[in-house]
Amino acid sequence: MKVTFRIQRYNPEKDAKPYFKDYTLDGLEGTHRVLDALHDIKWQQDGTLSFRRSCAHGMCGSDGMAINGRNTLACSLLLQDIKGIESGKPVTIEPLPFLPIIKDLVVDTTDFFNKYELVKPYLIVKTPPPTMERYQTEADAELLMESTKCIMCACCTTSCPSLWSNESYIGPAAILKSFRFAFDTRDEAPEEHMAAVDSQDGIWRCHTIFNCVEACPKEINITWHISQLKKRMVSDSM
Ligand code: SF4
Ligand code: F3S
Ligand code: FES
C-alpha cells in the first residue's frame, strides 16, 4: 500500500508558523502502525522530523498526537483502521491540540502534569502500616480497575472544549486520577484528592461533552468516573 502522510512541521527557532509537509511511503501493510510509518519517514527520508515515543506498545503514553483530527496513540493505530486510507487520501498528523509546540509533534506537557500533581496522585495513609498488606475486597478493587488503566497520554484533556475555552480547567485526566485515589478504600484522605477538583476550574467545568471518552486510547469511560465523583462531592457536602 502506498500512503501519503501530511505532517505538521514547526520549529519555533526557525519557522514563523506551523506548516504541512507531505511524505509518501510505499510497500506499507495494513497491519503497520502509524508509529512504524513515522519511523520509516524519520529514518529513511527526513531525520529532522521530531516526535515522542518510548514503549511502542500503548503503555507509556508518550506518542499521543492528532491523526486525521482525532487524538490517539501513533503506536496503537493500525493503518487498516484509518478511514479512507485505501482511497489514497493523505493521512494528516498534527501534534495534540492546545498544548504549546516544542517542535513538530512534540508538545510541552508541563501544564498537564502540573494539574495531575494537584490531585495528589498517590495513596495517602495516616495509620501505621499493618503487619501484612493493606487489604481491599475484590469488589473494591474492581471499582478502580478501569481508572488504573490510564497511561497519562493527554489525549483526553487536550480534546476537551471546556479546556480550549478556559485553560485553567484541570481536565479529565486529572479528574480521573482524583477518582482513582478518592475511591480507593485503602486511602485515608479522599478529601485531599478531591480538593483540587471540587472547584469552578475543576470538575464543575465539565459539561459532559464526551470528547475525552472518544479520544481515550485505553477506552476508559472517563465521563462515568466524572459523574461518580460529582455525586460523591454533592453527597459529602450534605
Ligand atoms: Fe490518556 Fe485515557 Fe488517561 Fe486520558 S484517561 S490520559 S486519554 S489514557
Ligand atoms: Fe470535557 Fe470530557 Fe467533560 S470532553 S467537558 S471532560 S465529558
Ligand atoms: Fe508508548 Fe505509544 S510509544 S504508548
Domains of the chain and CATH, by start: 3-107 (3.10.20.30), 110-237 (1.10.1060.10)
**Residue from 201, 203, 200 nearest 177 by CA:** 203
| Residue in the block written with cell 506537557 | 109
DSSP state of 226: H
Per-residue confidence (pLDDT) for residue 100, from 0 to 100? 97
| Dist. CA 87 → ligand 1 center (Å) | 31
| Dist. CA 146 → ligand 3 center (Å) | 19
Q: Which residues of the chain carry a pLDDT beneath 70?
A: none
Per-residue confidence (pLDDT) for residue 102, from 0 to 100? 98
Residue 62 CB less than 6 A away from ligand 3: yes
H/E element holding 106?
strand 106-107
Ligand in closest contact with the CA of 173: 1
Residue nearest to atom 6 of ligand 2 (CA): 172
Q: What percent of the chain clears pLDDT 70, i.e. is strictly above it? A: 100
pTM as predicted: 0.96
Per-residue confidence (pLDDT) for residue 117, from 0 to 100? 98
Q: Of 208, 214, 221, 224, which is best to mutate to test ligand 2, by the most ligand atoms within 8 angstroms of its C-beta?
A: 208
Helix-helix angle 172-182:222-237, to 10 degrees: 60
Ligand 3 atom showing the smallest separation from residue 54 Cα: 3
Residues 234 and 238: their CA atoms lie apart, in Å, by: 7
Helices H, strands E: what count in the chain? 8, 7
Residue 172 CB less than 6 A away from ligand 2: yes
Q: Cβ atoms within 10 A of the Cβ of 143, count?
A: 18
Q: Of 165, 210, 216, which is best to mutate to test ligand 2, by the most ligand atoms within 8 angstroms of its C-beta?
A: 210
Per-residue confidence (pLDDT) for residue 238, from 0 to 100? 84
Q: Give the model confidence (pLDDT) of 69-121 as tens digits.
A: 999 999 999 999 999 998 999 999 999 999 999 999 999 999 999 999 999 99
**Residue from 160, 41, 58 nearest 50 by CA:** 41
Q: In b/e form, how buried is each residue of 149-160, taking b as 16+ CB within 10 angstroms?
A: ebbbbbbbbbbb
DSSP state of 81: G
CB neighbour list of residue 214: distance below 8 Å, 6 or more residues apart = 70, 159
Residues 203 and 209: their CA atoms lie apart, in Å, by: 13
Beta strands 19-25; 3-9: pairing state:
antiparallel
Per-residue confidence (pLDDT) for residue 36, from 0 to 100? 98
**Residue from 24, 95, 66 nearest 215 by CA:** 66
The answer to whether 182 and 232 are in contact (CB under 8 A) is yes
> Per the structure block, which three cell numbers stand in for 108?
510541552
